Structure 1
């Protein structure tokens, strides 16, 4: 990793609130000591991270709404609205005298998001007319053809599953996935079920979301101590542990060691997530432990209970067409994703591509990248 250089760092800019995009701020900031720019929801999540490290009163966090334009030194920046799997995801437009760069952040094109702003196609087209020297672009789903599935379709599928459940139902998903939490809660309310939350990270996300105006119509949530006092057909559990984390709620429930929550034969657990590569063995162990209890399990292999927050090939083509970038620089993926993105961009008519590794310094302008 390249060593941080305070003298050449004007600020940190966060595109959204996922852990892999802001989790290192509390470790980097003591070396950089610069302002941090982010949206209100990202700031709410970041506040908790900084407090854990005793930095909550030290770090200058500059909160900017989605769509805001602001200047930092010789850079003119803009948060452009995209859709992803967390509130307030943004791309970042970076303008200087030397050129114009668009950093996509994490994104997909969801025409029917469950919450938050829509993908700002109009603004992307306008930026394309201005001229884009380089598009630094998400590569996570470049191996997949077509368009990613809308969160609204997952929401409808979750409702059908919850409506048909006879006993207790638990849904485990990424703690930061506020849209999925919203979809699950809406299904529970419609089915006449109370909602119990298990997992510190999920509770923190819900609190941050409500602080920023999200989930305010979701009703009240019950603590896990209430789980055993409600009829099986009147309860839904939202919990952490979709990646098989050993200390997470669903893993302990599957081992029958959770102090407040137990599932019985005929109950149902929905893994509303995709297993991240490397976690397969741990997730499979949780599935098997649940099966040993007689608990039914539904995963994304069985039903539409998850969709990615990243663009497939047809979405990438649309973005290329709107922005018309001179160059594409793939980011956010393993080497095979970055290489495939280079190939895909070239096949789509992009004149210049560049594959970079973490720590590389790239000159974008003037002249070729």
Structure 2
């Protein structure tokens, strides 16, 4: 709660508001807290060595004795991917639908937490009571099975937290969105709608998975060579559609990529893909004629270690593509991934492979609502307050304006760390909490603004240098400084430049007064400054520099 009053209902995003990804939302009521979603985002070229990062849960970790649970809206990484990383700091029960729980358990096994985390499976349309929160799972449609909006009842009113959603009348996997229940919630009264803003600039509706299936079936019939389709692994409806389209042309389907097999296993465990034959392994598919196979591959976003990248680099052990083959990108470009995706597509084209994207053919629909769908949701729910989330600042502002145009009396545009009082009294930001980001660095979590990450960033852009100097007790050099300038100098190919920096360091030490040369700290600092000054003048770089001093 705010520092002034515990008898209120507040909403506090620690991640996912003012950005797309790594959702971490908190609801506070009468001294108790609820987490809705706990996700990750993925690093890019601006984050050297960082593949995955997530919100810092420090605020709620400090209050975990009052934390009642984590409720997951669905199984995408930006909504559940941080659970296994952050649960040891939170240690509370987790609530999820059956498919989402299956995905979570796989991650918990990998983290050796399967026997520690208490996972409660909530049936579709089910409900749970956690302290002052009554939470109803309301069926939605999205690009993954079992997405849910959460109707959160509190003593101060009901909040509808939409999660990721759209209105797909023919979703293929699972039931359509429960519009009847949404309308009933609106009739009963909704205090606030906390809603997805991802596609607020998209006119019309997102489109149906059923239409993509028809289009893919027509498209696959055009080709006689090998076909590879890259898509998001979690889109089980798309996997089914590719399999149906392949069967229509007497082709067999192989899954290429570990995440696809994990999703396939979770889907079949929960009754999905029942009419689809078992997929082939990439090894078995290699024995099929090229006009009889379709590969479904991971790596639609250009991920360097994914299956499609290895195929494009011709380093995959079982799958090769050549002139006459085609790769269909049945996905959209996630902002920030343009360079890696275009690099991948260019590699494929250089091999003579045809590349088909959503700009060339109707091969993808979004899992997020367009403006018409958002307006329809507001017509059904009729909240008193709109709180846009899951979007950058421009998305949030546009969503707030759309809500006003739909007749919503009040809107609130937030940033991560701003605590919004929803009731009682006026809707307003009542507190600000510290936020941060944690990066997965090997087997540990480190803060994104830590010395470790700052130094790594500096090394990427400026290189690093190590200087070893040996002095006697009076401060006389007992040999030339030994210098390694990683990422800056090749001592063999640039012998003159290397000798020049050695001379600069030696001169800086010898020019020091004898009393100064007897002070280790002063010698180290003079050495560091001399090297950095010389490298700045000669190479335009100021490397991260370590000085090793040996006294004899």
Give the TM bin, normalised by the shorter chain. over 0.9
CA distance in 2, matches of 1:367, 1:347: 24
Mapping 1:1-369, distance limit 5 Å: 1=56, 3=58, 4=60, 5-369=63-427
CA distance in 1, matches of 2:278, 2:377: 40
| Per-residue CA distance 1:42-77 (angstroms, 9 max, x = gap) | 000000111111111110001011100221112111
Q: Check the 8 A contact 2:207/2:365 in 1, yes or no.
A: yes
CA distance in 2, matches of 1:173, 1:349: 38
Aligned residues: 369
Residue 94 of structure 1: SS of its match in structure 2? strand
CA distance in 2, matches of 1:360, 1:175: 34
Q: Check the 8 A contact 2:228/2:328 in 1, yes or no.
A: yes
* Runs of 4+ in structure 1 over 4 Å off: none
| Per-residue CA distance 1:188-247 (angstroms, 9 max, x = gap) | 112111111110011100001000110121101111112321101100101100000011
| Per-residue CA distance 1:9-56 (angstroms, 9 max, x = gap) | 111000000000000111221111111000000000000111111111
Considering fraction of residues, name the structure with more strand: 2
| Per-residue CA distance 1:242-275 (angstroms, 9 max, x = gap) | 0000111111111111111101111111000001
Post-superposition offset of 1:359: 2.5
Unaligned runs of 5+ in 2: 1-55, 428-552
Q: Check the 8 A contact 1:330/1:342 in 2, yes or no.
A: yes
Q: Give the number of the structure with larger relative contact order, counting CA–CA contacts within 8 Å between residues 6 or more apart.
A: 1
CA distance in 2, matches of 1:73, 1:350: 29
CA distance in 2, matches of 1:31, 1:121: 37
Give TM-score, length-normalised by structure 2: 0.66
Post-superposition offset of 1:2: 5.2
Aligned CA RMSD, in angstroms, stands at 1.0
Deviates more, 1:266-275 or 1:220-229: 220-229
Residue 421 of structure 2: SS of its match in structure 1? coil
